[in-house]
Chains A and B, each alone.
Chain A
Amino acid sequence: MLDKKKHHFLQLVVIFGAITLLTLLFAWGSREGTTSSMGMMGQSMGSMMQSMHAKNVTISDLIKQQEQTEMSSGMSSHHESGSMSIKISHYLTTGIIIVLLPFIIAGAVFLGIVWWK
């Protein structure tokens, strides 16, 4: 007999399992005719960048700064087009994250020491 308490969970599993399966079948079925493999685009961004930039990367590569200034200085003029509200939220969010990150790391180190058995 199924656990009464887990009944709702199993309900969700069955419903979403069915939706997933049907969508997958439909997606594969509707693609029978057009088979054009895009190669790289099929991957996720993480895997794509991994294969592009981090295939045989060493630890020192991760730490040192790359010389890309001349490339990005040309690009930066394109990116100045953002509106004011976007700029404000950019400064605000970047500021929050950069300022709080050292405190979060230090707090985590502290808790790690205090909680260690």
Chain B
Amino acid sequence: MSVRFDFIIHWLWTIVFALLTLSGLAMAGAKYGWVLNYDIASADYVHRVLAAIYVLLTFISIAYEVIRAVRYEEKKLGWFIIGKSGYQLFTFITTLIFIITGAIIWVCMDSNMSATAFALYIHEKLTYIVVASVIWHIYVKCHALLWPKKPNTTDKKNVAGTK
């Protein structure tokens, strides 16, 4: 069974992003607190730990793409989260904005309130846009939701399925 690197990153990313959104929503305001039953302390802890993992994953992906660019590998990675066109480019740009505004919130909370407020505003509104775009992404790729015809397919088919 061959599982490709971009495939793993795609789904790890999905899990981390979903949990980040969930814990972030709980902190977004008094209206949102019910999402995690007003347990802001856990939400904050989870959000910050996952943010580090998110940044690490982004770093690995960017490093991978840089190495590919240096080697002039033109082959398109179908499952990768960042890329030069389409939804991959959208994810790339929004991820950068998320990370930069997140870091501003993290670092400037103590020293520069206007920068924090500004970053927090973008961070939050971008969440709504990106979550909506994920639904669109599911719509486009929703053939993945179809159940397999035969439950136990052979390994040959699995290799074709990963492509």
Contact = CB atoms under 8 A, between A and B. Distances in A.
B14 to A, nearest CB: 16
B66 interface: yes
Contacts, number: 145
Main secondary structure of the interface of B (DSSP, over half): helix
A15 interface: no
Interface residues of A, number: 48
B142 A41 contact: no
A43 B58 CA distance: 31
Nearest to A66: B112
B18 interface: no
Interface in A102-117: 103-105, 107-108, 110-111, 114-115
A5 B142 contact: yes
Which among B28, B65, B114 has the highest number of chain A CB atoms within 10 Å? B114
Given A107-B62, A111-B66, A98 B138 contact: no
Greatest chain A CB density within 10 A among B52, B58, B123 is at B52
B142 A6 contact: yes
A61 interface: yes
Interface residues of B, number: 51
Given A43-B29, A111-B66, A52 B52 contact: no
B106 to A, nearest CB: 7
A44 to B, nearest CB: 4
Interface of A: 5-6, 8-9, 12, 38, 41-50, 52-54, 57, 61-66, 68, 72, 86, 89-90, 92-94, 96-98, 100-101, 103-105, 107-108, 110-111, 114-115
Interface of B: 27-32, 45, 48-49, 51-52, 55-56, 58-59, 62-63, 65-66, 69, 82, 84, 92, 96, 99-100, 102-103, 106-107, 110-118, 120-125, 138-139, 142-143, 145-146
Given A41-B30, A101-B103, 13 more contacts: A9-B139, A9-B145, A42-B30, A43-B31, A44-B31, A45-B29, A45-B124, A47-B124, A100-B55, A103-B59, A103-B62, A104-B99, A107-B62
